[in-house]
Each structure stands twice: as C-alpha cells, then as structure tokens.
Amino acid sequence: MVDPLIDQKLGVEVLRPEPSESDHEVLKLSRRNDAPILTRDRDFVEKHRNREEHHGIIFDPGMHHRPTDQVIEALESVFELMDREDLEDTVVRLKRFY
C-alpha cells in the first residue's frame, strides 16, 4: 500500500505484510517487531480506537496523492520528534507534518 521508494529513501528496514494478511496479522507483525505501521487504511485508526495494542500507526489516507519526497520529509519530521516509545499505542496523522 505504500510506495517502495519511501523505504529506500528513508533508509529504514521495512516489513511488508502479504496482501492477503488481515489487519489483525499486520498488528501482530508490528508488535513482534516493535515497528510502527505506515498506512492510508482507516481501519487501523479504528483498531487504535478499540484499544488494540500496536507500536504506532502513522496514518495519511491521501499519501498516494502526494509527491514521494513530500511524504518522506514528513516522515523524517515525525521520526525526529518521536522515538519508538513515543509512537507506541499512538496514531500520528501525517498530514500535520506537511
């Protein structure tokens, strides 16, 4: 769901679930790897509201309409301001960083 150029330009390891994996399985993958989820899928925000544990959800439903470099800059801003502990069980709306 996320442009592969984002991973390459950010220089971070990215775990990509199989398209057939359920949201629940994606959350488990996130927890097992202490990794935040970057998504444009509103279902993950709902899972947060239902108090499902996660290691951060970075959400922007319109990221696929933005230039990749703009998304990368916004993500870099998030990672400068927040570390892993800050992201845990938090939803970050990426549009606030554009």
Domain chopping of the chain, boundaries: 1-7+37-98
Number of neighbouring beta carbons within 10 Å of residue 46: 11
DSSP 13-37: ------TT--HHHHHHHHHHTT--E
Decide: pTM greater than 0.85. yes
Q: Alpha-carbon torsion 78, 82, 83, 89, what sign? A: negative
Structure tokens that stand for 38 in this block: 């970057």
Q: What is the pLDDT along the chain (98 residues), one digit of tens a residue?
A: 678 888 888 888 888 898 899 999 999 999 999 999 999 999 999 999 999 999 999 999 999 999 999 999 999 999 999 998 999 999 999 999 99
